[in-house]
Structure 1
Amino acid sequence: MKTRAAIFHAVGEPFEVAELDVADPGPDDVVVRMAAVGICGTDLHQVKGEFQRPTPIVLGHEGSGVVEAVGDDVTLVAPGDEVVLSWAPSCGACADCRAGRPARCVALNRAIAAATLPDGTTGLSRDGETVYRATATGCLAEHVVVSERVALPTGGAIPLLEAALLGCAALTGVGAVLFAARVQPGATVVVVGAGGVGQFVVQGCRIAGAETVVVADPVAARREQAVQLGATHAVHPDELRETVKRVAPDGADVAFDAVGDPETTLVALRNAGSGSTTMIVGLPAAGRRLDLDPIELIRKEKWLAGTLYGSADPATALPVLIEHVREGRLELASMLGPVYSLEDVNDAIEASLAGAPGRVLVVP
């Protein structure tokens, strides 16, 4: 089969929208007609040259769509099912997958570094030449062929445009709060960064029952959105320290770095109090290093940890998030940013780089 896709060639060059050859689906594969694809910070790392992956490559790993065809051995979904794509399907064999942490799967992470699927292939080509797939997904395309374990059914409970956000940003942000940090009712929380993932961290804190949620972000529109989603205070990063001193003199119980830069990690850590936990949620650019004084951790008995994809199995975490949406606890519609066609993918990338409030979406 063939499909049209947005192809990234090199830093500084525009995406090319072109037709690709797609390998026939195997017995465990499904064909998904993409409905919406979110532009994630991971994609932007590649665009800015902060991640080095083979090219030409199809980016995109946060998306929703409709199953159009299934292989003979597929049992989890059927044609017509609305699905969210998960970039971390469980292999079921390694220790991490057996522990319910498929995002840590060694085979998966090797594939992500090589820009292939877990089996080492990409299933995409153009004029006989291999085209790579970002984050073992590559869904900035009209159609994708993926393992059935990648296509998680929603039961048609959520509009597809909104459902796309569940594929990465929501699972990552809400999961960081509920499944990794396990924020307790009444807690004081600091969130550094109010982009797509950061806004879901804010929502996770509200769902968890945090009493005080202080958000820091340089973009005014993002700060305004954070307040609407549950933040009690939203300030410019220059004002964060004084704000925390005023509302939580002993520091936050939990701090989240939703950006992932070493500098923002230190900001989160320094605004967390004794006995606190600081979670690194965002991904740093390749090669960045964190320079800290271990006394900061020892003297105040602080915990510094990382969380990947919400620290849960997406297959079990997604139904939890869907239930939160159904019950009105998790907001998706207001999280939507500008929407672009596949042909206008370069405009979508520029809008996301510019810090547009809400998740920038591409509708193939």
Structure 2
Amino acid sequence: MKTRAGLFRAVGEPLELVELDLAEPGRDDVVVRMAAVGICGTDLHQVKGEWQRPTPMVLGHEGAGVVEHVGADVATVAVGDEVVLSWAPSCGHCPDCARGRPAACVPLHRAIGNGTLVDGTTGMSVGGETVYRGTATGAWAEHVVVTSKVALPTGGAVPLRDAALLGCAALTGVGAVLFAARAEPGGVALVVGAGGVGQFVVQGARLAGAEAIVVADPVEARRDQALRLGATHAVHPDDLKEAMKEIAPVGADYAFDAVGFPETSATALRFTRSGGTTVMVGLPPTGLRLDLDPAEFLRREKFLTGTMYGSEDPAVALPILLDHVAAGRLELDSLLGETFPLERIDDAVKASLELPAGRVLIEP
């Protein structure tokens, strides 16, 4: 079958609209007609050349759409179902999947690095040339063919434009608080970075019952957005030291780096109280390293951990988030930014690189 997609060939080159050849779906595959796909920081790492993966590639993994075809062995979804894409389907065999953490699956991450699906294929080509998949998904397209484990049903509970955010930013940000940090009510939370994921970290801290939520971000519009979402304080990073002296002199109970650079991770760790927890949420460019002071862990007994996709099986976490949305506790629509048709994929990426307050969407 054929479909249109936005193709990334090289750093500095404009993304182009092409007609792809898709492999026919197998017995456990589904075809999803994409309705909305977000532009995630993961995609931008590739666009900026901060990650080296094979090209040409169809990026995009944070999306929602409607099932148009199901294979003979598929029992979890039916034609017409509205679904969110999960970029971390369980391989069903490795130790990480066995403990309920498919986002840590080694075969999956090997596939992501190689630009393929877990089985080593891509199922995409153009003019006979292999096309690779971003984050084992490749959703900047009108249609995707994926295993049924990727398509998580929403029951039509939220509009598809909103549901796209659930596919990555929401599961990652809210999960970082609820499942990675396991934050308890009444604490002080610090969020470094208020982009797409950081805004959901803020909401996660609110859901967890944080007494104070401090956000540090250099972009004023993002600070304003964070305050609307539940942050009690939002400051420029240059003003964070003075703000923390006043708000939480001993430091935050939980600090989250939603950016991913060594400097932002160090900031989050620095302002974590003795015995508190720092969670690294944002993904760094390839090759960067942290310079850590052992005293932070020995003398001050801090905990430093990372989270991948919210530290929970997406199939388990998604219904929890949908319940919060239904109860009005989790916002989606207000986090959406500018929307572009697939024909303007390059403009959409450029808009996202300008660090807008809302998530840039593509509507194929």
- Which of the five TM-score ranges fits, normalised by the shorter chain? over 0.9
User: Corresponding residue for 1:357?
Assistant: 357
Paired with 1:194 and 1:257, the residues of 2 have a C-alpha distance of: 10
Kindly state the Cα deviation for residue 152 of structure 1 after the two structures are TM-superposed: 0.1
- 1:149-193 residue CA offsets vs partner (Å, 9 max, x unmatched): 000000000000000000000000000000010111101011000
Determine the structure 1 residue equivalent to 2:180. Answer: 180
CA distance in 2: counterparts of 1:352 and 1:304, whole angstroms: 30
1:297 maps to: 297
Q: How does 1:249-260 map to 2 (within 5 A)?
A: 249-260=249-260
1 CA distance for matches of 2:137 and 2:266?
A: 32
What SS is found at the alignment partner of 1:198? helix
CA-based RMSD? 0.5
Moved over 4 A (4+): none
| Unaligned 5+ runs, structure 1 | none
Separation of aligned partners in 2, 1:15 and 1:348 = 10
The answer on 1:337 being equivalent to 2:337 is yes
After TM superposition, the structure 1 = structure 2 runs for residues 54-73 of structure 1, keeping only pairs within 5 Å, are 54-73=54-73
- Offset at 1:241? 0.9
Q: CA deviation at 1:61?
A: 0.4
Instruction: Please name the residue that 1:271 is paired with.
Output: 271
Amino acid at match of 1:105: C
User: What's 2:224 paired with?
Assistant: 224
TM-score of the two chains, using structure 1 as the length reference: 1.00
Superposed, 1:51-200 pairs within 5 Å as 51-200=51-200
Question: What TM-score do the two structures reach when normalised by structure 2?
Answer: 1.00
Unaligned runs of 5+ in 2: none
For 1:251 and 1:230, how far apart are their aligned partners in 2? 19
1:21-43 deviations in whole A, cap 9, x for unaligned? 00000000000000000000000
Say yes or no: does 1:310 pair with 2:326: no
Shift of residue 299, structure 1, vs aligned partner? 0.8
AA in 1 matched with 2:14: P
Instruction: Write out per-residue CA displacement over residues 254-294 of structure 1, whole angstroms, 9 at most, x where no aligned residue.
Output: 10000010000000000111001000000000000101211
CA distance in 1, matches of 2:34, 2:241: 43
Residues 73-115 of structure 1: CA deviation (Å, up to 9, x unaligned)? 0000000000000000011111100101001111101100000
Give the deviation of 1:297 after TM superposition. Answer: 1.7
SS of residue matched to 1:149: helix
User: Aligned residues: percent identity?
Assistant: 71
Corresponding residue of 2:6 = 6
Look up the SS of the partner of 1:168 in the other structure.
helix
Local SS of the residue matching 1:24: coil
Alignment length (residue pairs): 364
Please list, as runs of the form range in 1=range in 2, the aligned pairs for 1:33-44 lying within 5 A after superposition. Answer: 33-44=33-44
Question: 1:195 and 1:26 mapped to 2: Cα distance?
Answer: 37
Structure-1 separation of matches of 2:221 and 2:236: 11
**Secondary structure class of the residue paired with 2:345:** helix
Q: Which amino acid aligns with 2:28?
A: D
